[in-house]
Amino acid sequence: MSSKKRLQTVRNSINEIDEQIIELMAKRTQLAPEIAKLKFSLDMDILDSSREKDVYAKTREISEKYGFDSEIAVKVMKILIEQNKELQIKQFEKLKSENTSTKSNIKSE
Ligand SMILES: O=C(O)C(=O)C[C@]1(C(=O)O)C=C[C@@H](O)C=C1
């Protein structure tokens, strides 16, 4: 195969992998509202530092397994966790406002 053709083949593989990476990041992120609802109903804080430590430890372990730079993987994971927490904060605010409107409905009844 010519180098030009091989370059195109490798780029096609990168395109497919990029789609998988983004699909998985989207799937992880889409769990934020559900986890927020569960934590809200359990009266738990959004931040769980101990769980985050476990996620980073697991990230390092998986990176080593695949020969990937674990510091880069942890950086990506930090961004995903930050985004998850921001979405959970929004969900908490929504749930709190729904809660207060239900309470005021009950009061006015
Ligand atoms: O596992 C949780 O409790 C989550 O809320 C998810 C998550 C994460 O994105 O991995 C986000 C925030 C917490 O501080 C810990 C972990």
What would the two tokens of residue 67 be?
């020969």
Instruction: Determine the distance separating the centroid of ligand 1 and the alpha carbon of 88, expressed in angstroms.
Output: 9
Give the model's pLDDT for residue 101.
77
- 105 CA to centre of ligand 1 in angstroms: 33
Domain spans in the chain, listed from the N-terminal domain onward: 1-30, 32-108
Nearest-CA neighbor of 88 among 42, 44, 41, 35? 35
pLDDT, tens digit (0-9, with 9 covering 90-100), for 60-108: 999 999 999 999 999 999 999 999 999 999 999 999 999 887 766 665 5
Q: Residue 70 burial by CB count (10 A; 0-12/13-18/19+): exposed, middle or buried?
A: middle
Question: Per CATH, the architecture of 32-108 is what?
Answer: Up-down Bundle (1.20)
Residue 14 φ/ψ, nearest 5 degrees:
-60, -40
pLDDT reported for residue 100: 84
Counting other chains too, the contacts that 68-72 makes at CB distance below 8 Å and 24 or more residues apart are none
Q: Which atom of ligand 1 is nearest to the CA of 84?
A: 9
Q: Which residues, in sequence order, are CB contacts of 29 under 8 Å at separation 6+?
A: 80, 83, 84, 87
36 contact partners, CB below 8 Å, separation of at least 6? 46, 87, 88, 91, 92, 95
Q: What is the predicted pLDDT for the residue at 109?
A: 52
Question: Which residue is closest in CA terms to ligand 1's atom 8?
Answer: 81
| Span 10-30, average pLDDT | 98
Instruction: Find the residues whose C-beta lies inside 6 A of ligand 1.
Output: 35, 47-48, 51-52, 55, 81, 84-85
Q: How far is the CA of 46 from the centre of ligand 1 (A)?
A: 7
